[in-house]
Amino acid sequence: MINSHEQFLFGATLTVDCQALRQNWLHLKSKSGSAECAAVVKANGYGLGLELVVPELWSAGCRTFFVAIPIEAQTVRQLAPQATVYLLGGLYQGAEAWLHNFAIRPVLGSVEELKSWSAYCQSQSCKLPAAIHFDTGMNRLGLLPEDTEIIEPLLKDFNCTLVMSHLACADEPKPDFNQNQLKKFDRIANFYPNCNASLANSAGVFLGTDYHFQMTRPGIAIYGGTALPGPTPLAPVVHLSSRVIQIRTAASGETVGYGGRQMVQRDTRLAIIATGYADGYLRAGGCENDKAGALAYCAGHYIPVCGRISMDLIALDVTDVPDDKIERGTLIELLGAHIKIDDLATRCGTIGYEILTNLGGRYNRNAINHSPNSQV
Ligand SMILES: *Cc1c(COP(=O)(O)O)cnc(C)c1O
């Protein structure tokens, strides 16, 4: 998998499968029916890298991107000069002229923000585009239904291109919660017949046509995270493999790692790999006597973490892997076809989003690509 000839410079390699990335987006697009399928690329493209993700999605046909903070919007603008870029974090104080200059559309989420944007548009004598965001159950960002009257006169000052809301429980078995939000949002969207409407995140795409409106906004599913429980139609995009730097044996009764929290119950062969929490491999994946940890994969075997995760190292119990299948220099799968983002997340007590957005800056990062017009 490592295609750099200087692979010995790195402890681990992170490979992004660009074809899988495009395929996943195309799958979400087909699931979105007649609605436009946008892409959420906040947090540096969910940790995969905006420079990689944005051109790939653009080449697959994506034309609308959502980011969280202004600096991300600026990067997307540079990578995709023709794209429509929405800023989910809204209108930061003093950002009006900057947004105008970079043609970024703020997602306005409070009366205050709407007032500032309409005042700026008036001062420039032009109706700049923006989205308006209503809260229907998150209590995070967003206007309240009762703000409708207050904002009515402000809407004539700018070009409201999108009215949106965000689902709180799309990926949980809470159909009533989703339907309640859908009902609320439907009422709001009807109020703005000239704006496109958008409600669905990744999991929302799979909730059916009612949730699609004119635009869907998937994020995690593009990157291979499971949007819903059960088998996933999405391909793994992230492949992380770490090199074995030493194989050793701990005798039955000895402990492994900091704190001596795991005592091995048999003579145990350990593979020490060159990845740790400094690489974003969550420390919560460590194993203790009374707590199972994360799994890695090698040569047909799932191999458990042994002891705590160190800053730069992890010990894996490879007693069950045949001798001839593992040695110094062998690459161990930490994420990929066998170790799914969501499975690792569950074992670390978290969610796939956190696994991806923690992917560290120390990896040998590269891309595999089957498309002739994309760069590796
Ligand atoms: C992050 C985010 C999304 C994408 O959510 P996923 O669950 O990753 O698909 C969509 N809309 C908003 C407002 C978001 O913050």
pLDDT for residue 228: 76
Nearest CA to ligand 1 atom 4: 219
> If 0-12 CB within 10 Å is exposed, 13-18 middle and 19+ buried, where does residue 354 land?
middle
Whole-number percent of the chain with pLDDT over 90:
92
Catalytic annotation present for 258: yes
Band of pLDDT at residue 4, cut at 50, 70 and 90: low
- Predicted confidence (pLDDT) per residue in 101-123, tens digit: 999 999 999 999 999 999 999 99
Which member of 46, 120, 192, 258 is catalytic?
258
DSSP letters for 189-204: HHH-TTSEEE---HHH
Distance CA 110, CA 241 (A): 44
The reported pLDDT for the residue numbered 94 is 97
Give how far Cα 167 sits from Cα of 106, 163, 199, 212, 368, Å: 19, 14, 7, 12, 33
Average pLDDT for 270-289 = 98
Give me the chain's average pLDDT, please.
95
In the chain, what percentage of residues exceed pLDDT 70?
97
Residue 302, pLDDT > 50, answer yes
Q: Edge-to-edge strands of the sheet including 39-40?
A: 36-37, 215-216, 196-198, 159-164, 129-133, 104-108, 84-87, 64-67, 39-40
Q: Would you state the pLDDT for residue 5?
A: 58
Q: Name the amino acid, one letter, at 311.
A: M
Q: Which atom of ligand 1 is nearest to the CA of 68?
A: 15
pLDDT at 371 over 70: no
Is 60 exceeded by the pLDDT of residue 375?
Answer: no
- The string of pLDDT tens digits covering residues 312-367 is 999 999 999 999 999 999 999 999 999 999 999 999 999 999 999 999 999 999 99
* Spatial distance between the Cα atoms of 60 and 373, rounded to a whole number of angstroms: 11
Distance 46 CA to ligand 1 centre (A): 11
Mean pLDDT of 301-305: 98
Q: Which two tokens stand for residue 264?
A: 């091995």
Residue having the nearest C-alpha atom to atom 15 of ligand 1: 88
- Of 42, 86, 281, 297, catalytic: 42
Q: Which atom of ligand 1 is nearest to the CA of 88?
A: 13
Which residue owns the Cα nearest ligand 1 atom 13?
166
Identify the pLDDT of residue 1: 47
Ligand 1, pocket residues at CB < 6 Å: 40, 42, 88, 166, 201-202, 217-221
The whole-number pLDDT of residue 369 equals 83
Q: Which run of H or of E encompasses 40?
A: strand 39-40
Burial of 175 (0-12, 13-18, 19+ CB in 10 A): exposed
| pLDDT greater at residue 132 or residue 376 | 132
Residue with the smallest CA separation from ligand 1 atom 12 is 166
31 is catalytic: no
pLDDT for residue 105: 98
Q: What is the pLDDT of residue 374?
A: 41
Confidence class for position 2, pLDDT limits 50, 70, 90: very low
Sign of the torsion angle spanned by Cα atoms 137, 143, 145, 146: positive
Residue 372 pLDDT greater than 60, yes or no: no
Domains of the chain, start order: 18-223 (3.20.20.10), 238-339 (2.40.37.10)
